[in-house]
């Protein structure tokens, strides 16, 4: 059975690999595979390097989290997700706003494929709300007249009922999600930035320590490591921050 819960501090880091070419992919995977748990590949990666580059990451001993945020009719998302398994993806996400049927069909199709091919079923996450969204965007632009944390929790409940492994959600909602949905329901926190890094384009950001103390299982972090003068040193600093936060949490 695939390990869902992280074991070491480094396993909690999902490195956003938003690069422009295959050479950079190989460089970062070779440089950082011992300091992060997964390499996140998403739309920038897909459109610049191509999905076949995932095979290269696997060949260089990297584990892959595919951030595709799939949302379509249930059959389309289920079929696309099974195709990810054929590429060797370890971890991927779909959009909770696609609805319970879409999520449930995806989980069922992936489990059937995994059993038929004698492989571990994938870790499937549901995206609750993009980290670039705030309350104003949710209410005034999307017309969702509900508190943003309540909205995230509602989508998380729907996702769990559909059978997904966990959600991508902000650290501020992690404690409540764990309380209501259980410790085994994993929470991945996006938009993580150490205090020494530039904020960039996210509105809702959090430090690695804050995320871990809040109960988050995995953190997604990119530019603070990949854009650092010394990426390995940057990754080690984050690992240390996570280890210290875990000690505080256990006290």
Judge whether 121 and 110 are in contact, CB under 8 Å.
Answer: yes
Catalytic residue among 10, 40, 63, 69: 69
Regarding pTM above 0.85, the answer is yes
From CA 139, how far away is CA 142, in angstroms rounded?
A: 6
Judge whether 81 and 109 are in contact, CB under 8 Å.
Answer: yes
pLDDT tens for each residue of the chain, 251 residues long? 455 778 899 999 999 998 888 999 999 999 999 999 999 998 888 888 888 889 999 999 999 999 999 999 999 999 999 999 999 898 999 999 999 999 999 999 999 999 999 999 989 999 998 878 889 989 999 899 999 999 999 999 999 999 999 999 988 899 999 999 999 999 999 878 887 775 555 555 689 999 999 999 999 999 999 999 999 999 999 999 999 999 987 76
* pLDDT tens-digit map of 118-171: 999 989 999 998 878 889 989 999 899 999 999 999 999 999 999 999 999 988
Side-chain-side CA neighbours of 52 within 13 Å: the count stands at 0
69 counts as catalytic: yes
Judge whether 17 and 40 are in contact, CB under 8 Å.
Answer: yes
Element of type H or E holding 105: helix 100-116
Closest Cα to residue 94, out of 130, 112, 67, 120? Answer: 67
From CA 209, how far away is CA 203, in angstroms rounded?
A: 18
Element of type H or E holding 65: strand 64-70
* Range 9-250 has CATH code 3.30.70.141: no
What's the chain's average pLDDT? Answer: 91
Domain ranges of the chain: 9-250
């Amino acid at each position: 059975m695939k390990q869902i819960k992280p074991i070491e501090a480094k396993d909690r880091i999902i490195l956003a690999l938003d690069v422009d070419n295959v050479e950079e992919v190989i460089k970062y995977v070779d440089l950082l595979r011992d300091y992060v748990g997964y390499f996140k590949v998403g739309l920038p990666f897909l459109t610049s390097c191509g999905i076949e580059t995932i095979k290269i990451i696997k060949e260089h001993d990297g584990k892959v989290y595919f951030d595709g945020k799939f949302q379509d009719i249930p059959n389309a998302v289920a079929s696309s997700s099974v195709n990810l398994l054929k590429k060797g993806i370890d971890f991927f996400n779909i959009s909770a706003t696609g609805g319970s049927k879409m999520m449930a069909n995806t989980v069922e199709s992936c489990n059937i494929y995994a059993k038929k091919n004698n492989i571990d079923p994938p870790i499937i996450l549901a995206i609750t709300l993009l980290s670039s969204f705030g309350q104003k965007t949710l209410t005034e632009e999307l017309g969702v007249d509900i508190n943003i944390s309540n909205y995230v929790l509602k989508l998380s409940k729907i996702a769990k009922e559909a059978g997904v492994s966990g959600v991508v959600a902000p650290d501020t909602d992690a404690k409540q999600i764990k309380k209501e949905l259980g410790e085994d329901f994993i929470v991945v926190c996006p938009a993580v930035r150490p205090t020494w890094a530039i904020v960039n384009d996210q509105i809702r950001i959090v430090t690695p320590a804050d995320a871990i103390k809040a109960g988050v299982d995995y953190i997604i972090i990119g530019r603070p490591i990949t854009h650092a003068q010394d990426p390995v040193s940057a990754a080690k600093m984050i690992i240390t921050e996570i280890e210290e936060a875990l000690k505080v949490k256990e006290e």
